Amino acid sequence: MLSPMATGSSSRPLPKRLSEIYARLGEQQRRSLLDYAEFLLERQQDAGKHEPVTAPAEPQLQPRPESESVVAAIKRLTGSYPMLEKQALFSKTSELMSAHLLQGRDAEEIIDELESVFHKHYRDYVERFEKDT
């Protein structure tokens, strides 16, 4: 339960306060607030799903379109490998994104490297799983 301090007011219920804040935000801030709320909801739902895992999760590979941006490739690969920890991939994906945006490296070349990075992290994930079981 949130304290009155956390809601910003002791006299207004949390849903009403949240609605008031939402109404005062700009469109981009509203989208961010909604994205964060959805993230919290997903995290809460995932917290209850702790069934024993007997085998490493298989990638849900999505086909690579002929013409794809680097951002779209990162989203596709993240969706293809949902079992990988995003934080572990962050450094290398950021580095490659910067090489594309700041150094002008070709998108197709960057996407090839991204696919290799995700595949390597998946192989490491499988090795850790097999080692731990």
- The full set of domain ranges for the chain reads 4-47, 70-132
Within its chain, how far is the Cα of 97 from the centroid? 16
Note the pLDDT tens digit of each residue in 8-54.
444 668 888 888 888 898 888 887 777 777 767 776 766 656 566 67
- Residue 3, pLDDT > 60, answer no
Backbone angles phi, psi at 67, to 5 degrees: -115, 115
Position 113 pLDDT exceeds 90: yes
What's the average model confidence in pLDDT over 79-103?
92
pLDDT(6) > 60: no
DSSP code string of the chain: ---HHHHT-SSS-HHHHHHHHHHHS-HHHHHHHHHHHHHHHHHHHHHT--PPP-SPPPP---PPPSS--HHHHHHHHHHH-TTS-HHHHHHHHHHHHHHHHHH---HHHHHHHHHHHHHHHHHHHHHHHHHH-
Q: Determine the pLDDT at residue 1.
A: 35
Q: How far is CA 10 from CA 16, 24, 31, 86, in A?
A: 12, 20, 27, 38
Task: Report, as an integer, the average pLDDT of 59-88.
Answer: 93
